[in-house]
Chain A
Amino acid sequence: MALSRLRIDQAVIAKLVDEKSRVLDLGCGDGLLLEYLFHHKQVQGFGVEISHEGVHACIARGLPVYHGDIDQGLSDHQDDSFDYVILSQTLQAVRRPEFVLREMLRVGKRGIVSFPNFGYWRIRAHLAFRGRMPRTPLLPAKWYNTPNTHLCTILDFQDLCQNNSIRILRQIPLAAEGSQPTGWFHARLSNWLVPPSAANLLAPIAVFLLEKGES
């Protein structure tokens, strides 16, 4: 059996989650990340997933999963019910990203968000030189059939956090986007990407660890 591997952003998220914490994974897909967290970090919690394929995959992995949309997945829960609420590669596809972000940090003590960075140079170049809506391995859909209705750049996301008094505890721009093994080069590059303007240009994807600010 080929070893299934986490996507790079999922692997980074997995590293950010503390052991034995309570986790809500919004848009958990086939449950790969959640399964990793259950087994290697002994977390509790469950996933929320809209597709039957995803729900079925989670069930087959023995993971608790809620079949439904993210809005209901959040409104059902009391304040601070979770240590972490995870939104991996899903923010850009939700109807109301600002509402979802606020709700995440209502039901969770911390939030972890990963999203494709629309400020990535390849995307900019695609639009600048080809004059058509960018399509990348991470965003392969055409403009008229994409589920990704709320794309943003790393700088845009920082603004959104600031406007909602959300504290950014960590921001980890990634130089790699796929599930391919990431070697020394990619890892180091990611560390160099910390200046926000550079990260915004060079990182195809970013992971943010968030916390509620004072309100």
Chain B
Amino acid sequence: METTSGPSSQSVGVVQTQYVELCTGEKRLSLDCGASLGPVQVAYETYGTLNAERSNAILLCHALSGTAHAAGRHNPDDPKTTGWWDICVGPGKPFDTDRFFVVCSNNLGGCDGTTGPSSIDPNTERPYGLTFPMITIGDIARLQKALIDHLGIKRLLAVAGGSMGGMIALQWALDFPDNLEAAIVIASTPRLSAQNIAFNAVARQAIMADPHFNNGNYYDKERPRKGLALARMMAHITYLSEKGLHDKFGRRLQDRDSFSFGFENDFAVESYLHYQGSSFVKKFDANTYLYITKAMDYFDPFPDPRTTAERLAKVTARILVMSFDTDWRFDTSRSKELVKTLHWHAKRVTFEEFPSPHGHDAFLLYQPLYQQSLTSFLKRLHQECVGTTEPPAEIVEGVDGIV
């Protein structure tokens, strides 16, 4: 039996975010919208050790609100500084840092150290704001590729991510077929549905309707906190399942025994959402929210049969697709849609759906079945590409006489 990484598993310990300036001079980052950016700062973290052959590297791609800080802690005494995928990254965990060299960088357009709308535009020496060029999932992957080149890694063992991170991992398989062995696409989708886009559109409207939004020029003033908090509160509901949310809060009242018969926070779930919203605005930039949700809306690598065939022709990576049964942000049927497309083009795909009460957020949480499959997939990948494998089954004797 595979050891599972329960909450007692080891941590990678105290880590620090590193920063590097890429796409400098002539080598500007060209973007799908036609514009280019340069220089671009990238915030990233690494865990584990790169082997001499540089063949054990894995790139993790974060989702909408993630950061470069995937594992370990920035402050050893503060559990709140734990990385966003610490449950999956560390010694004995699926992304086993005893085996793998794990890289995670903040996405292009982000607000945690990588160049984004809150960064200073070298031309104006003021924050970009809405003058930041529109970016795509393809642009995000292209910048990651520049980082991987900078780290001297030619071929990644895997690119993995959940939600939007899964879209980026899929983009890698399509755009850089020679530079990865496997793509791991978790709780994700090959394209946003009208409902997904609708949720993103309302979130953006909430931000832009905030009186402090000021067309994105708010960095030296009051920020559009209420709009961003509202966007986050609404999105957060879509990350949880109805059952999960009800099991957690039910109709429990918050700090009171009876209804207020007013518009205060009567219910515990209201108070919880307000907390989610207000803690989010302390660490996240409203303009980044606009740009990244738009990048997700635009993502559609398989718009028609001809483009699909062209894009998949060169894909050699094995692709692992995982979903959760209560996820309604990106329902299992979206993962199956991706798998069907890949199967039609005879790609090497594995798909598994896991039971979980946690909805879309399940990919960030500890669940034995999910953890086991991820661990086994990665362990096998390591055996095949870095180490050795056990021989397969033998055929029984005497069959020659039968057939």
In the complex, the chain B residue whose C-beta lies closest to that of A58 is B350
Q: How far is the CA of A16 from the CA of B318 in the complex (A)?
A: 27
Q: How far is the CA of A181 from the CA of B349 in the complex (A)?
A: 34
B392 at the interface (CB under 8 A from A): yes
Chain A: interface residue count, which band? 35 or more
Chain A residues lying within 8 Å of B349, measured Cβ to Cβ, are 46, 64, 66
C-beta contact mask, A178-199 vs B, less than 8 Å → 1, else 0? 0111111011101100000000
In the complex, the chain B residue whose C-beta lies closest to that of A24 is B343
Q: How far is the CA of A137 from the CA of B368 in the complex (A)?
A: 33
Q: How far is the CA of A190 from the CA of B340 in the complex (A)?
A: 40
B residues with a Cβ closer than 8 A to A are: 2, 318, 320, 336, 339-340, 343-344, 346, 348-354, 369, 372-373, 376-377, 379-381, 383-384, 389-403
Chain B residues lying within 8 Å of A3, measured Cβ to Cβ, are 393-394
| Cβ contact within 8 Å between B373 and A40 | no
A166 at the interface (CB under 8 A from B): no
| Cβ contact within 8 Å between B393 and A67 | no
| Cβ contact within 8 Å between A187 and B399 | yes
Q: Give the 5 A-B CB pairs with smallest separation, nearest first.
A: A187-B401, A182-B398, A15-B403, A67-B352, A60-B376
Q: How far is the CA of A180 from the CA of B396 in the complex (A)?
A: 8
| Cβ contact within 8 Å between B394 and A39 | no
Partner of B402, one of A40, A52, A191: A191
- The residue among B343, B344, B380, B393 with the most chain A CB atoms within 10 A of its own CB is B393
| Cβ contact within 8 Å between B339 and A66 | yes
Partner of B350, one of A59, A179, A182: A59
| Cβ contact within 8 Å between A36 and B396 | no
Known: A1-B390, A22-B346. A174 touches B402 (CB 8 A): yes
| Cβ contact within 8 Å between B399 and A8 | yes
- The residue among A8, A11, A35, A65 with the most chain B CB atoms within 10 A of its own CB is A11
In addition to A6-B396, A38-B392, A64-B348, 10 A-B residue pairs with Cβ atoms within 8 Å of each other are: A35-B393, A39-B391, A44-B348, A60-B376, A60-B379, A61-B380, A67-B351, A68-B353, A77-B344, A181-B397
Partner of B398, one of A63, A64, A172, A184: A184
7 sample A-B contacts, Cβ–Cβ < 8 Å, listed by A number: A12-B403, A44-B346, A72-B336, A78-B344, A179-B396, A180-B396, A187-B401
A214 at the interface (CB under 8 A from B): no
Partner of A64, one of B336, B350, B373, B394: B350
| Cβ contact within 8 Å between B399 and A12 | yes
A147 at the interface (CB under 8 A from B): no
| Cβ contact within 8 Å between A55 and B389 | no
In the complex, the chain A residue whose C-beta lies closest to that of B352 is A67
Q: How far is the CA of A208 from the CA of B126 in the complex (A)?
A: 74
A residues with a Cβ closer than 8 A to B are: 1, 3-6, 8, 11-12, 14-16, 22, 32-33, 35-36, 38-40, 44, 46, 52, 55-56, 58-68, 72, 76-78, 81, 172, 174, 179-184, 186-188, 190-191
Known: A12-B403, A38-B392, A188-B401. A77 touches B343 (CB 8 A): yes
Chain B residues lying within 8 Å of A32, measured Cβ to Cβ, are 393
**Could you tell me the distance in whole angstroms from the C-beta of A95 to the nearest C-beta in chain B?**
19
Chain A residues lying within 8 Å of B346, measured Cβ to Cβ, are 22, 44, 81
Chain A residues lying within 8 Å of B372, measured Cβ to Cβ, are 56
**Could you tell me the distance in whole angstroms from the C-beta of B389 to the nearest C-beta in chain A?**
7
Q: How far is the CA of A182 from the CA of B402 in the complex (A)?
A: 10
**Could you tell me the distance in whole angstroms from the C-beta of A159 to the nearest C-beta in chain B?**
24
Partner of B399, one of A40, A59, A182: A182
**Could you tell me the distance in whole angstroms from the C-beta of B390 to the nearest C-beta in chain A?**
7
Known: A1-B390, A76-B340, A77-B343. A62 touches B384 (CB 8 A): yes
Partner of A172, one of B381, B396, B402: B402
Q: How far is the CA of A72 from the CA of B340 in the complex (A)?
A: 10
| Cβ contact within 8 Å between A182 and B344 | no
Chain A residues lying within 8 Å of B353, measured Cβ to Cβ, are 67-68
Known: A12-B403, A15-B403, A188-B401. A4 touches B393 (CB 8 A): yes
- The residue among A33, A59, A184, A187 with the most chain B CB atoms within 10 A of its own CB is A59
Chain A residues lying within 8 Å of B393, measured Cβ to Cβ, are 3-6, 32-33, 35-36
Chain A residues lying within 8 Å of B392, measured Cβ to Cβ, are 35-36, 38-40, 61
Chain A residues lying within 8 Å of B395, measured Cβ to Cβ, are 5-6, 11, 14-15, 36, 40
